[in-house]
Chain A
Amino acid sequence: QKEVEQNSGPLSVPEGAIASLNCTYSDRGSQSFFWYRQYSGKSPELIMFIYSNGDKEDGRFTAQLNKASQYVSLLIRDSQPSDSATYLCAVNTGFQKLVFGTGTRLLVSP
């Protein structure tokens, strides 16, 4: 079982819709969770992080964490074509190691 799993996609949504990206992790000792966005040919950039159960909102982005079910998700409201990128979930494991999923490719069509 992989430490962090994401559906590779692509996830296709129309402009203005809500994009929902999901991530599951295996280490129950994981404490903090991060979402990164990576455009083709660029390095990952941080979108937001969460470490408490529940929701955390930042602009059009909402991160949701459920430690009991070991999943974290990212919602993007009012999706724009410029949101088209690969979204990486990263989990800070019990050993303070940040492990990344393979990413979900998001395509937002005009």
Chain B
Amino acid sequence: DTGVSQDPRHKITKRGQNVTFRCDPISEHNRLYWYRQTLGQGPEFLTYFQNEAQLEKSRLLSDRFSAERPKGSFSTLEIQRTEQGDSAMYLCASSPTLGREETQYFGPGTRLLVL
């Protein structure tokens, strides 16, 4: 079974460092989403891609955050100059483009701790 995978699963970094996370969606899923979840809260939408096009970005995605999906397959989320407030679980999800709305399949997440 090739579900959504994310790498790394855990990341500890010092404040001010840059980090990059990778998401591999389910094969042939056109849509890919990034969410962030802090402790005790529901996930929050960050951005999403239709193939390689980034169609929407949340205002939560400050200029320190950038996401790419260069070939319409895997995606990367980079955080520059990390801050302690960036500590969270970063979740990726993908869905097919069969209809107007489809189930989203979630990866296991990358847990980031900024010291």
Q: Do A and B come from one complex?
A: no
- The chain A residues found within 8 Å of chain B, CB to CB, are none
